[in-house]
Amino acid sequence: MGLKIRLLLGCGVIAGPLFMVVLLVTGALRDGYDPIRHAGSTLALGDSGWTQVVNFLVTGLLTVAFAAGLWLARGGLGGSFWGPLLVGVWGVGLLGAGVFVTDPVAGYPPGTPLLTDPPTTAGSLHDLLSLAGFVGLAAACFVFTRRFAVRREIGWAVYSALTGIGFLAGIVLSTRAFADTGAGGLAGTGGLFQRLAIGIGFTWLTLLAVRTLRTPEVCRSTS
C-alpha cells in the first residue's frame, strides 16, 4: 500500500509541469496562435488539435490519481476528505475539457469569430466542466488553507490562500477578456490571464504533491 500511495502522489508532481510544457510548446509552434490573446483550450482545434486533447486527458488522469493519493494519505495529514475531493474535481474538469472540445474563441483558429454564437453542445459542455474544475481547484486551495492553519503551518496556509485568490482573479479576468469583443478594456489579453491563473494553480498543486511526499507522517504511514 505504501508504494501505491507514493506513486499516486508522484502523479501530482508530474501533472502540472507536463501540462504547462505541452501548452507553451504547442502554442509557440502553431501558426496564427497568440498565447497572450488566445485560450489554451483552442489549441485542441484544427488538424493538430489532438496534442492538446491528449494533454488535457493525460493531465486529468494524473490529477485524479494525485487526488486519490491525497485521499489515502489524509490520515497522516490529519485532514478531511474535502481537499482530495476538490482536487479530484479539478482533474475531472481537465478530462471534460479534453473530451468536449471548445468552440473557437478570440479569433482562433484564424478566420473564426471572436465568440461562437450560439455555442455548440460540445462547446457548452467544455465550458461547464471547465468551470466546475476552476471552482474545484479554488475551493481546494481554501480547504487546504484551513488544514494548514489548524496544523499551524502558517507559511503553507498563507501560500494556499494567496493561490486561491490569485487563481480566481486570473480566471475572472481571462473570462472577461475573452468576452470583450471591443478594442478597449481587457480585449486581447485573455490568454495571458488564463496562463497566469493555470500556472499559479498548477505550481501550488505540484508543490503540494512534493510537500505531501516529504511529510514525516505520510512517510511513516506509507513505509
Question: Do residues 62 and 18 lie in contact, with contact meaning Cβ atoms separated by under 8 Å?
Answer: yes
List per-residue pLDDT tens for the chain, 223 residues long.
577 889 999 999 999 999 999 999 999 999 999 999 999 999 999 989 999 999 999 999 999 999 999 998 876 555 678 999 999 999 999 999 999 999 998 889 998 888 888 999 999 999 999 999 999 999 999 999 999 999 899 999 999 999 999 999 999 999 999 887 665 677 789 999 999 999 999 999 999 999 998 876 665 555 4
Half-sphere exposure of residue 198: CA atoms within 13 angstroms, side-chain side: 29
The string of pLDDT tens digits covering residues 98-127 is 999 999 988 899 988 888 889 999 999 999
Q: Which residue is associated with the grid cell 450560439?
A: 118
Domain boundaries, the chain: 2-221
Phi first, then psi, for residue 111 (nearest 5°) are 95, -5
**pTM of structure:** 0.91
Among the listed residues 103, 21, 109, 101, the one whose alpha carbon sits nearest the alpha carbon of residue 59? 21
Question: Do residues 113 and 128 lie in contact, with contact meaning Cβ atoms separated by under 8 Å?
Answer: no
Q: Which set of grid coordinates corresponds to residue 208?
A: 503540494
- R_g of the chain, CA atoms, integer Å: 18
Q: Which set of grid coordinates corresponds to residue 54?
A: 491528449
Say how many C-beta atoms besides its own lie within 10 A of residue 75's C-beta. Answer: 11
Secondary structure of the chain as H, E, C letters: CHHHHHHHHHHHHHHHHHHHHHHHHHHHHCCCCCCCCCCHHHHHCCCCCHHHHHHHHHHHHHHHHHHHHHHHHHHHHCCCCHHHHHHHHHHHHHHHHHHCCCCCECCECCCCCCCCCCCCHHHHHHHHHHHHHHHHHHHHHHHHHHHHHHCCCHHHHHHHHHHHHHHHHHHHHHHHHHHCCCCCCCCCCHHHHHHHHHHHHHHHHHHHHHHHHHCHHHHHHCC
The string of pLDDT tens digits covering residues 137-168 is 999 999 999 999 998 999 999 999 999 999 99
Q: Which set of grid coordinates corresponds to residue 86?
A: 476538490
